[in-house]
Amino acid sequence: MTSLPAGIHSNRLDDTLHSRNRINISLTGSITYNLFLDDQSSVIWSYNGIQLSPRPMLGSVAPIQVRSGNKIALEGSNFGTVKRDGQVHFGDRLAPIISWSNTRIVATVPSDAPPRITDITVRTSYSTYNPYSIRILSGIQIPVTFTYNNIFINNRYTENIYLTGNVFELGQ
């Protein structure tokens, strides 16, 4: 088996060292050949293919809880040294890019991104990178403490106090 592409490959030495051998590579990678080597003869087969870029990976995102308009940093590898046609998506929303390097992208959370848990993906002309989940909050979070004094609950297994609201964060 070989990783040479399918097709017929001629000997790189042609007839310089008394050998006109060729090999035939099938689509499955198997090799068919007839070798006729005289004394003091050699054969060399090689292929100069397209060098593929290493697969890009999204490794970490910070912060993982954001609001519309916040900056967010995406760390990883093989993003490319220049942005070109690269994009960052929050779900189906396109994010404005602040900076781009091979290992770090800084973007702004889109103003129309709805509050929810969503995947961030980085896309370039080569690939869409692995998704990374974050939480987009509905707005500034204000901590609130509820204090109840002298509340009598008859049966603690069936009597409960529930806090409800109308924002994403209270429903998760």
Residue extents of the structural domains in the chain: 1-51, 57-136
The number of helix segments (H) and strand segments (E) in the chain equals 0, 12
Is residue 171 helix, strand or coil?
helix
Measured between alpha carbons, how far is 148 from 135 in angstroms, rounded to an integer? 31
Residue at token pair 């990374």 = 132
On whether the CB atoms of residues 5 and 28 are closer than 8 A, the answer is no
> Which fold would CATH assign to domain 57-136?
Immunoglobulin-like (2.60.40)
Lowest-pLDDT choice from 16-25, 65-74, 139-148: 16-25
Q: State the pTM of this model.
A: 0.58
Percentage above 90 pLDDT, the chain: 33
- Residue in the structure block whose two tokens are 């800084």: 106
pLDDT digits (tens, 9 = 90+) for 9-36: 566 565 555 555 666 666 665 666 656 6
